[in-house]
Amino acid sequence: MNISTRFGLMLLGLSVVSFRLQAQHGSNDASPKGTLVYPDEKHFKNIQQLTFGGDNAEAYFGFDSKAIVFQRTNPKEGLDCDQIFYGMLPESNKDKFKYKLVSTGKGRTTCAYLMPDGAHVLYASTHIATDSCPPVPDRKVLKKYVWPIYDSYDIFVSDLRGKVLQQLTKQPGYDAEATISPNGDKIVFTSTRNGDLDLFTMDMDGRNVKQITHELGYDGGAWFSPNGKKIVWRASRPKTAAEVKEYKDLLAQGLVAPTNMEVFVANVDGSDVRQVTNLGKANWAPNFTPDGKHIIFASNHEYERGFPFNMYIVNLDGTGLEKISHDGGFDAFPMFSPDGKKLIFSSNRNNGGTHDTNVFICDWVD
């Protein structure tokens, strides 16, 4: 997630794998069957669909740009809630993408990231608390769209055979949404250990934990800039008494409403916080472009009913907003490869009118 959601792919109004993101979403009627790329998507070249069927999202490159990890749910395969998979990227569009399970297969997992050595995986999991999938909120009773914040989530390191080697977080409360600095020395993650949803950093071994956000509201889905000096993340900022009460009441139940979020940037120590977007609705899944001068993110701000979601690029000061994807359903979780040549993202496109969300990769054209 990244609530990256990243909260086990509970995406805003969608039934996507995890951000995250577990609700019902509409069929992709606006996307013609067989559509991989739209005429207005001028930055996408040589697009390839990597997964087929189920909900697949939060696909992120390893440090060498040759492999990815992602989370997948598909009840038809016995995957009732998100598990983490690893695969080497195909060398050409003619090659099939092959992947394997690298999480325990127990509980719910989310927010995976390859370690700098390429041989280990960082992810959050609830498997210590229970082997089964944790319950999802009854939104018909709550009468609002919410994400669960499972306090059984902790952050682990496993090898590529699925063996857990280390538990990095052991504090009570939610610990998830972890990503690693390009310098390979720091992890940023979201935690409720202080009673709120804030960002923290820690060393690669889980030591030297530092809180870096302090305002009331949900702070999550953080990423480092290419030089490791800045972070970008999504945040809610309840202001009125009613908003603050709703946020606190939901948080006390292990829930958060993710329908109003904006994108923020700061130095890696949390100083010099700046709000990048002020678009309204849900602006999330942000990441840096390879030059570190722009932010790529997902948003539903153009649509009164809160759907579809498309991807956008904006300058760090909030100017120069450009829409870069045009599917009529869901485009999100963008990440550039470390070498800057490719973009990977999750989308409802080419799903044959089903609810499937799949992973796509393309060459990036400036």
Instruction: Retrieve residue 288's tokens.
Output: 């840096």
For each successive 10 residues of the chain (366 residues), what is the average pLDDT? 38 37 32 75 96 96 97 95 97 91 97 98 97 89 88 98 97 97 97 98 98 98 98 97 96 94 98 98 97 97 89 98 95 96 96 93 96
Dihedral sign of CA atoms 124, 126, 128, 129 in order: positive
The pLDDT score that the predictor gives to residue 33 is: 53
SS3 call for 108: coil
Residue 236's nearest CA partner among 200, 303, 282 is: 282
CA distances from 288 to 37, 220, 231, 301, 311 (A): 22, 15, 9, 20, 13
User: Angle at Cα 242 formed by Cα 237 and Cα 244, nearest 5°?
Assistant: 40
- Rounded CA gap, 232 and 223, in Å? 5
pLDDT at site 38: 93
Instruction: Quote the Cα angle for 264-265-271, to 5°.
Output: 115
Please report how many Cα atoms fall inside a 13 Å half-sphere around the Cα of residue 182, on the Cβ side.
Answer: 22
CA distances from 86 to 96, 215, 347 (A): 14, 36, 19
Can you give the pLDDT at residue 34?
65
Cβ atoms within 10 Å, residue 319:
8
Given a contact cutoff of 8 angstroms between Cβ atoms, the answer to whether 68 and 48 are in contact is no
CA distance 198 to 174: 10
pLDDT at 15: 37
Checking phi first, is residue 25 left (phi over 0); if not, alpha (psi -120 to 50) or beta?
A: beta
Q: Are 39 and 139 in contact (CB under 8 A)?
A: no
Cβ(298)–Cβ(333) below 8 Å: yes
Cα three-residue angle 100-101-104, rounded to 5 degrees = 165
Three-class DSSP labels, 90-107: CCCCCCCCCCEECCCCCC
- Number of other residues whose CB lies within 10 A of the CB of residue 130: 12
State the virtual CA torsion across 274, 174, 77, 355 in degrees, nearest 10.
-40
Structural domains for the chain: 72-84+99-325 (2.120.10.30)
**DSSP-derived pairing of the beta strands 262-267 and 322-323:** unpaired
CA-nearest of 168, 228, 167 to 202 is 168
Contacts of 178 (CB under 8 A, 6+ apart): 111, 113, 122, 123, 124, 155, 187, 188, 189
Q: Where are the alpha helices (DSSP H) in the chain?
A: 139-142, 241-252
Residue 245 in tokens:
């009460």
Question: According to the model, what pLDDT value does residue 339 have?
Answer: 94
pLDDT of residue 182: 97
Say how far apart CA 217 and CA 178 lie, in whole Å.
Answer: 18
Query: 209-227 burial string, b = 16+ CB within 10 Å, else e?
Result: beebbeebbbbbbbbbbbe
